[in-house]
Every structure is written in C-alpha cells, then in structure tokens.
C-alpha cells in the first residue's frame, strides 16, 4: 500500500509554535515517527508539507496518478478556509483520505469549528497529538478503504 501524508501551513514549525497547543515535538520528530510507522505497517509512504494552498492542491491531484492508495492530511489553517482543498480531495475519489489534527479542534476558537477538507474524508482524528497520524495510517491499512 502507498500512503501520502500531507501537512499544511506551519506544521513545519512544530516544536517552535504554540507549544501549549501543539506540544514540544518538532516536525523532524513527526517525520521520524511517520517513517517508523510506514516501516512497521509495511507500507510505502511519502511525507509532503507546504505552506501554499495551490501546492497542496497540486500534490493531492498528483496522488491520483502516482499510485497513491490513501491520503492522510492535516490541512492545518486551510482546514477552515479552503474549498480548493475540499474540491481536490473530492476530485481524487475513490482515493480515501483521513483528516488529522494534532489539537482537539472542537475545543478551540469558533472559527475552527468548520472543516471543509473533512467533508471529503472518510475519518477525522483530532486531539491525539502526533499519535493521530499513526492512527490514521493504521486506519487506512486495516480498512483498505
């Protein structure tokens, strides 16, 4: 199985930004955890991060053509604003996508209560820290959705 993990804006700043919300683990820690999880689950994995909406849309679209079988996506701030990412995820169906959020978005500001990307995802995992990514990969592998 081939899984693409996509991270949106400011995820590359983990360990630096708002540690009270996102913790002290760094983006390098996240990448190491993902690589370990790919190996343990026996999947081919790719990690992609961009701070630019169009780049994220392009990578989602590319996934349809490059043999990707599942997407784990943390759209970050674009969760609440990007119809373009929603449309890209809808365009690449039947590719299943799982939405991940490090924090529990339900317990945050009112404007964070809407997830456009989540409307095109088969599952949302939030509030589990970096472990949420592991859970998302496991869900894709175990369910082969």
Report the pLDDT averaged over residues 29-57.
98
What's the pLDDT band for 145 if we cut at 50, 70, 90?
low
Q: Strands across the sheet with 70-74, in order? A: 44-49, 2-7, 70-74, 97-101, 123-126
Q: Is the pLDDT of residue 10 over 80?
A: yes
Is residue 134 exposed (0-12), middle (13-18) or buried (19+ Cβ within 10 Å)?
A: buried
CB neighbours (10 Å) of residue 90?
13
What phi and psi, each to the nearest 5 degrees, are found at residue 5? -105, 120
Catalytic residue, chosen from 78, 101, 116, 133, is 101
Per-residue tokens: 58: 């392009």
Q: What percent of the chain has a predicted confidence (pLDDT) above 70?
A: 96
CB neighbours (10 Å) of residue 57?
20
Per-residue tokens: 115: 């997830």
Q: Is the pLDDT of residue 105 over 90?
A: no
User: Greater confidence, 50 or 107?
Assistant: 50
Catalytic residue, chosen from 22, 78, 116, 133, is 22
Mean pLDDT of the chain: 93
pTM across the whole model: 0.93
* Residue 101 is among the residues annotated as catalytic for this protein: yes
Q: Work out whether the CA dihedral 75, 2, 15, 132 comes out positive or negative.
A: positive
Which residues, at least 6 apart from 28, have a Cβ–Cβ distance to it below 8 Å?
none
CA atoms of 82 and 1, how far apart (whole Å): 28
The tens digit of pLDDT for each residue in 49-91 reads 999 999 999 999 999 999 999 999 999 999 989 999 999 999 9
């Amino acid at each position: 199985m081939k899984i693409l993990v996509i991270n949106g804006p400011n995820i590359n700043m983990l360990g630096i930004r708002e540690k009270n919300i996102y913790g002290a683990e760094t983006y390098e820690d996240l990448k190491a955890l993902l690589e370990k999880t790919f190996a343990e689950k026996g999947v081919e994995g790719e990690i992609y991060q961009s701070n630019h909406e169009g780049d994220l849309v392009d990578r989602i679209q590319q996934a349809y053509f490059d043999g990707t079988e599942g997407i784990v996506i943390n759209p970050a701030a674009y969760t609440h604003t990007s119809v373009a990412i929603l449309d890209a995820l809808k365009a690449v169906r039947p590719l299943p996508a799982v939405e991940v959020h490090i924090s529990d978005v339900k317990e945050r500001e009112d404007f964070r209560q809407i997830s456009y990307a989540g409307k095109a995802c088969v599952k949302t995992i939030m509030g589990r820290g970096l472990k949420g990514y592991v859970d998302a990969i496991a869900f894709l592998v175990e369910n082969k959705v």
